Amino acid sequence: MSLSLQSGGTSSRALPAASTAHAASAANERTTRPITTGTSVLGIKYRNGVMLAADTLCSYGSLAKYKNVKRLLGINSRTLIGASGEISDLQSISELLKANALEDRCTADSLYEEDNNEECAKEVWSYLRAVMYNRRNKMNPLWNDVVVAGFKQEEDGSLSDTPFLGVVDKIGTAYEDDILATGFGGYIALPLMREKYRPDMEEGEARALLEDCLRILFYRDCRALNRVQIAKVTKEGGVLVSDPYELDTFWDFKGFVTNKGTMGTDGGW
């Protein structure tokens, strides 16, 4: 650290430049808790594909601030992700996966899109598991639970008929299932989905079930909204993400309008 002369003939150590001090402190910054967050993501396998659903609300703490945040994202023509948790970390994950997809296309043996060997859903899921675990070990996790949907891949690189649905959390814990829910949906929506689920469900039945679960989450979850998105992956049609739309709601249930103190309860829901 350099010495500088001040008036009166005394010497003192010069303070570091403001930009240097800021850079040093920024290098050690960590996200200790999520701030701008999205809530539940639901996923379900059906007869011809996989479907995800989520609302579009981004909460700033307890403030319902951003009401058109899209949390269902197509990574390539055969893989779809949805995430709850910190929105900025979801944006970082999306950029990372899309950069990988672009690299795959640029380094492919063929220039024709139909010949490109894109990553299948299970490969994306396995990659995210490693990324999340790596960030957790650095004590700087990505604060998300990420649901990955798509199809598995055959040994020759062709797309399998077997749909894939898996989830990875912020510490790298990962598993597959036929139905999945993150956030508050794991407590409220998942039991309903288990009760109604059938492996041979048609697309319309799967969509109706997800919409019913999102509607109940809107009633019960303070961080949920009735403006939602539905997305699906099929082998023939690839990834399709709907525009946001609003669910019809019904607020005349007796439990909603009756004074809780007169229902023989302690006043809670």
Among candidate residues 20, 31, 258, 265, the one labeled active-site is: 31
Cα distance between residue 163 and residue 186, in whole Å: 21
Q: Look at residues 214, 163, 179 and name the one whose alpha carbon lies nearest to residue 57.
A: 214
Find the DSSP H helices in 138-171: none
Q: Residue 119 has which token pair?
A: 């990553």
- The β-bridge relationship of strands 238-241 and 227-234 is antiparallel
Asked whether the beta carbons of 2 and 15 are under 8 A apart, the reply is: no
Does 31 participate in catalysis according to the annotation? yes
Question: Could you say which DSSP state residue 151 is in?
Answer: E
Give Cα 269 to chain centroid, integer Å: 29
Cα distance between residue 245 and residue 229, in whole Å: 7
Cα distance between residue 234 and residue 79, in whole Å: 10
Report the SS3 class of residue 263.
coil
Report the SS3 class of residue 140.
coil
Question: Could you say which DSSP state residue 236 is in?
Answer: T
The catalytic site residues sit at 31
